[in-house]
Amino acid sequence: MYYVLHVLIIAAIYATLAISLDLVVGHTGILSVAHAAFFGVGAYTAAIGSTRFGASLASCLFCAVVIGIVTSFFLSVPSLRIRSDYFVIVTFSFQVIMTNIFSNWISVTRGSLGIPGIPQPTVLGITIRSEASFLLVSIALMSVVWCLIVSVSRSPFGRVLHALREDETLAQALGKNVLRFKAITFALSAASACAAGVIYAYYIGFVDPTSFTVMDSILLISMVIIGGAGSTWGPAAGALLVVLLPEGLRFLGLSSQVAADIRQITFGLVLVLMIGVRPKGMFGHFEVGR
C-alpha cells in the first residue's frame, strides 16, 4: 500500500508540473526548457526555510511563489522579445545555470550532499505524517493549479493567449501588449512549479540537484506533448502515463540497471509512437512546434 500511495503522490506532483507548463507551451505556444529549474527553486526554498529558519509550510509556499514570480520576470521580460528557437535556447541556458547553482553553491544548497532532515509539515495545526495525508495535499495542490489554468485559459485573458499562439503578429497588430501577456503567463506557470517543488521537498524530506536537471525539464515537456498540449485533461493524463507506465517493470524481476534501460527505451518508444500516430497528443488540440 505504501508503494501505491508513493507512486500516486509523485504522479500528482508531476501532473501539477505538467498542467502548469501547459499554460506556457499549450495555451501560449511558447516552448520553455526551464520548468524543472522553477521546480527546484520551490524545493530548495522549502528545504532551506524549514531546516535553517523553522519556516512553516504556508510560509515556504508563499516565499517560493514570490521567488518564482520575481525570477520568472527577470528571465521572461528581456527574453520574450525574441521568438521561437531563440527563447528555447534562453530557457535552456537558464536551466543549466540553475542546475549549476544547485550543485555548486555549497554554502546554501550543500551541493551534491543535498539538504536532509526536512521536517514534516503542519497544516491547520495538524502534522502531515502519513502517505495518505501527503496524497491529499498533493491532489489538493494539483486541483488548485488545474482550476487556475482552466479559468485563465477560458477567460478573455486566455483567448488573447490563444491568439498569440496562432498568430502573434496579428495579436500585436490588434493592439495587444504581447510582452505583458507572455510575462504574466510565464510567472503563473513558474509560481505553480515552485509550489509543486515545496510539496515535493516536504514529502521526500531531502533535496539534491539530481531531481531538477535539463532532462527533467524535457521529461515534463514530453508529458505535455503525450497528453495533449492546450487541452483540459491532456497534461495530467500524460504525467500519469509517463509516471505509471515504467513502474510496471518493477514487477518483472529485472535488475535495477536493466529495468532502468528498458524504462528509457519504453518511454522513447511511447513518445515516438505518439508523435507519429497522434502528433496532438491523447487529448490535444494544438500541435507543439506548428
Q: Is the dihedral of CA 77, 30, 225, 213 positive or negative?
A: negative
pLDDT for residue 288: 65
The residue type found at 88 is: V
User: Residue 240 CB: number of other CB atoms within 10 A?
Assistant: 20
Tell me the average pLDDT of the chain: 88
- Write b or e for each residue in 82-100: b if 16 or more Cβ atoms lie within 10 A of its Cβ, otherwise e: eeeeebbebbbebbeebbe
Q: Is residue 160 part of a domain?
A: yes
pLDDT for residue 42: 96
Q: Is residue 265 part of a domain?
A: no
The domain of 77 spans 2-211
Mean pLDDT, to the nearest integer, of 95-108? 94
Mean pLDDT, to the nearest integer, of 175-192? 91
Mean pLDDT, to the nearest integer, of 156-175? 86
Mean pLDDT, to the nearest integer, of 263-288? 73
- Asked if residue 287 has pLDDT above 70, the reply is no
Is the pTM for the entire model greater than 0.85? yes
Mean pLDDT, to the nearest integer, of 101-115? 93
Q: Is residue 127 part of a domain?
A: yes
Number of domains in the chain: 1
Mean pLDDT, to the nearest integer, of 193-215? 94
**Band (232; pLDDT cuts 50, 70, 90):** confident
- Asked if residue 198 has pLDDT above 90, the reply is yes
**Band (261; pLDDT cuts 50, 70, 90):** confident
Taking the C-alpha atoms of residue 263 and residue 245, their distance in angstroms, rounded to an integer, is 9
Take residue 12 and report the three cell numbers written for it.
Answer: 500528482
Mean pLDDT, to the nearest integer, of 232-242? 88
Q: Is residue 287 part of a domain?
A: no
Q: Is residue 180 part of a domain?
A: yes
- The share of the chain scoring above pLDDT 70, in percent, equals 93
Taking the C-alpha atoms of residue 219 and residue 215, their distance in angstroms, rounded to an integer, is 6
Higher pLDDT, 274 or 70: 70
pLDDT for residue 76: 84
The model's pLDDT over 44-67, given as tens digits with 9 standing for 90+, comes to 999 999 999 989 999 999 999 999
Q: Is residue 239 part of a domain?
A: no
- Asked if residue 286 has pLDDT above 70, the reply is no
Q: Is residue 61 part of a domain?
A: yes
pLDDT for residue 62: 96
**Band (254; pLDDT cuts 50, 70, 90):** low
Are 190 and 33 in contact by the 8 Å Cβ rule? The answer is no
Higher pLDDT, 166 or 275: 166
pLDDT for residue 85: 73
Q: Is residue 283 part of a domain?
A: no
